[in-house]
Amino acid sequence: MLELNGPTLPRRSRRAAAALTAGAAVTAALLGLSSAPATAAPTAANATAGKSAAAAAPDISVANVKAHLNQLQSIAAANGGNRAHGRSGYKASLDYVKGKLDAAGFTTTVQQFTSNGATGYNLIADWPGGDADHVLFAGSHLDSVSRGAGINDNGSGSAAVLEVALTVAKEGYKPTKHLRFAWWGAEELGLVGSKNYVGKLPAAERAKIDGYLNFDMIGSPNPGYFVYDDDPTIEGVFKNYYASKNISTEIETEGDGRSDHAPFKNAGVPVGGLFSGADYTKTAAQAAKWGGTAGQPFDRCYHSSCDTTANINDTALDINSDAVAHAVWTLSGGSTTPPTGKVFESKAQVTIPDAGAAVESPLTVSGVTGNAPAGLKAAVDIRHSYRGDLVVDLVGPSGKAYRLKNSSSDSAANVTETFTVNASAETANGTWKLRVQDVAAQDTGHISSWKLTF
Catalytic residues: 187
Which residues, listed in sequence order, are joined to residue 432 by a DSSP beta bridge? 363
DSSP string, 39-69: -PPEEPPPTTTT--EE-PPPPP-HHHHHHHH
Contact 275, 218 (CB under 8 A): yes
The whole-angstrom separation of Cα 89 and Cα 95 is 10
Contact 405, 437 (CB under 8 A): no
Q: 3-class DSSP state for residue 110?
A: strand
Contact 136, 328 (CB under 8 A): yes
The whole-angstrom separation of Cα 128 and Cα 180 is 9
Which residues, listed in sequence order, are joined to residue 273 by a DSSP beta bridge? 214
Q: Who's near 118: CB < 8 A, 6+ residues apart?
A: 85, 86
Q: Who's near 224: CB < 8 A, 6+ residues apart?
A: 250, 275, 276, 277, 282, 286, 290, 298
Question: Which residue in 331, 228, 325, 213 sits closest to 276, CA to CA?
Answer: 228
- Residue 12 belongs to what H/E stretch? none
